[in-house]
Chains A and B, each alone.
Chain A
């Protein structure tokens, strides 16, 4: 049987782009004897191989599950449309890359949900697997379909399709879930229903079929109540307490074809001390925890040696907030320089960008620098609690230009709460001031051209942030503000402005804040052919709008309506340990343009330390 599928795949593989993505066999991929394993898990990343293979969470959970001898975790990605066509035309079902066995035969199918725009891919992958899309239609003979990742902090739009959501961090929860399954299978007590009931008692497991949702006449949620005594009233997210000791892979699967982030990655810290009010990750990944420098160095060496990667990235939400960044970097560069390894430091904050840091960075490679002021005026930066001053931005740029850099990339967001035209024009003013610094440098290098790239995303209100209550501005208004900025920068050839497609941002907002009823629209959109919505060239706005209209889904209600503080949000039965009172407090401060200090400077009382039972900083 399995050879047959491999033959079918290989027969058509040369017809598609980057065929090595679909056949497995990569270095460090884990192959086991299918007859000697008890639990098989298909780890599905609902996007292309190039994106999914870059994702660190998948690497962690893949290695973690495979560290159990009798469990086998395989990788599965969404096929690019050219290969999907081959699959559908030749009856090739969705399969795991390690065994090339159909995922339909596995015990678990697990999706990691990193962004809203992959929801249709989840449906498409279930369909390619040959499974019913609706959880209610999948019986005991079907794999258990689970999902985790940041987007499941509001899993409601996906509830029709997923059996169980893992809320919070996965390293311990995944093990506990699979152990329960293995035990129930071995003792003969397994039925899907009973398994889900028992799983719901493990912390962090949300089984949507065990909850009933009632709505008010105005369309908002009246209540979410368990319909089974085993299910908790509120599902609390899982947290790894000792982050320094948490499992980390010694090996990465090394792809043959080039992927988005083709490098070794060490996660240096989790959580964020900043509390930018638009940023979901900054709240749902709390509390801030970091690894010891020795742990980081060891993990980095291990990975570089077993992969042969020539680039190493120190990843986190804000790497420059690592408490002893300079010592850690100097130890790290000692190793990487000897080994000809490039060190990449994404997520650096402007206010932590020093001459010393820059010198460490430029020892290895002098590529562009990227900063994220997020807003064009100080007032708006205070509203969003970015806690960065214009002086800090300009001084970071002075340092960078003085150090030989001639390009900076700046990230901004448009449509932020309270934003006015003045704030939009402020982006242009800031860019011009940065350019002036460069042109006034006495010893600037000849022949090098200044390049300032401005990249503007559109604000999307996200659950578990102080801005969850905020409406997104209309498509027409985003469009107008974008043009306003473009006009303000006319004729400045060294300033390049790029935008996220604002028609995508609306979809993101609806899916991020949607309730269970939005599931019907996702289904309809998929039926109309929507998939790979995160890819500009494949996104079909009109089809999505049709799907919303045909299912009676009011996009204004979800995306463009302000939520009252007392309204029950669709995700309120999930507890991310950041209290709603805190979010409301932060929202009020935002409206007054008052900032909140970083967690390291002063505890803002978000509620996490109470839940964890210890202070986040200081005496632990």
Chain B
């Protein structure tokens, strides 16, 4: 057996939301090392456990179904792999599943988020309506090629639902993600915070969760 690709889905919650993307890589490599699983190491000068995260999650956000790719070098059931890795995870990180990847990283098209607020449903739902009724939502964004640029993100935002959930008022929204256009959830929540602040509407952001990742075709990324 040469090596086999595996895609893991994991949860990042609680205190683990403060682990930055770079630190997450090290954290996962160490967990894999502790698990004793037959993982594939990169070749070359400094062999490292191969790991790839198809879509980075920003610092502070929760992830309910985050993907991570690795390779294994021995035949092992996906259930066992997931269970053994889960057993050595630090607080806040849980393994949900392991399976052969179905899609390519490049297939990722958008992601769905939930922002949870403290405030009244009426106020927040009204503010979201007003926010989305604007002609444009201009934000400053860092671009790899052009540095800081101003973009109108409004055409890219889809607000799906505003409701009273456990823990606060939930705003479900969807943003483009992946190689072509990747919008950080904070672009939406920051812009909304500024907007609601001007209108003097109380809505304190408690947390942001990424709930799922989708392909451009609309299929769930798997």
Contact = CB atoms under 8 A, between A and B. Distances in A.
Interface stretch (A13-21, A141-149, A267-275, A490-498): A13-21
B23 A308 contact: no
Interface residues of A, number: 24
Nearest to B16: A25
Given A19-B59, A340-B41, A257 B23 contact: yes
B90 interface: yes
Contacts of A18: 20
Contacts of A308: 29-34, 88
Given A20-B20, A23-B15, A309 B92 contact: no
B136 to A, nearest CB: 27
Contacts of B20: 18, 20, 256-257
Q: Dominant SS at the A interface?
A: loop
A14 B15 contact: no
B90 A258 contact: no
A307 B34 CA distance: 7
Interface in B1-50: 14-16, 18-20, 22-23, 26-27, 29-34, 41, 46-49
A569 interface: no
Interface string A438-475: 00000000000000000000000000000000000000
A30 to B, nearest CB: 13
A365 interface: yes
B91 interface: yes
Interface residues of B, number: 27
Contact of B15 (A24, A257, A258, A305): A24
A572 interface: no
Interface string A1-30: 000000000000110001110011111000
Contacts of B59: 14, 19
A454 B7 CA distance: 48
A25 B14 contact: yes
Contact of B27 (A13, A256, A339): A256
Nearest to B26: A258
A254 interface: yes
A306 interface: yes
A310 interface: yes
A20 B59 CA distance: 10
B17 to A, nearest CB: 9
B60 interface: yes
A307 B90 contact: no
Contact of B23 (A25, A256, A306, A310): A256
Interface of A: 13-14, 18-20, 23-27, 254, 256-258, 305-310, 339-340, 342, 365
Interface of B: 14-16, 18-20, 22-23, 26-27, 29-34, 41, 46-49, 59-60, 88, 90-92
